[in-house]
Amino acid sequence: MDYLWVKYLHVTCVVLSVSLFVLRGTLELMAQPWRQWRLLKVAPHVIDTLLLTSALWLAWRIGQYPFVHGWLTAKVLALLAYILLGMRALGKNTSPGQRLPYFVAALLSVGYIVGVALTHSPSWGFL
């Protein structure tokens, strides 16, 4: 596969994944029954599978790996934080008062991930 094609697939999946998270989070904050919509339940899993698969291929292709290269380690750890925070933001058992802080924290972690991806530096090149 061509590197640029997979990179564009990866970036497209990032945009779609984050957009769907924002949509589901907004609907959750507005107390809308989004879980009834099959598309909003299935699409994120398909997109995130493509996202992870393309990420693994790209890491292999450029020969840089998490827990070997600092910037990829930072991305993986921030991704874990995003997943956990997102689960709490969208969780059925999370109280309405806790949803917004978890949602904002999840979006901040995505922002950090994007910054690391663009700079290839855990500190975004500031240190």
pTM for the whole thing? 0.91
Burial of 81 from C-beta contacts in 10 A (0-12 / 13-18 / 19+): middle
> Which structural domain, as residue segments, surrounds residue 94?
3-119
User: How many domains are there within the chain?
Assistant: 1
124 part of a folded domain? no
**Amino acid letter, 21:** F
Report yes or no: 116 and 124 within 8 Å, Cβ to Cβ: yes
pLDDT above 90: residue 103:
yes
Report yes or no: 68 and 117 within 8 Å, Cβ to Cβ: no
The alpha carbon dihedral of 23, 26, 30, 36 has a sign of positive
Q: Provide the pLDDT confidence category of residue 46 given band limits of 50, 70 and 90.
A: very high
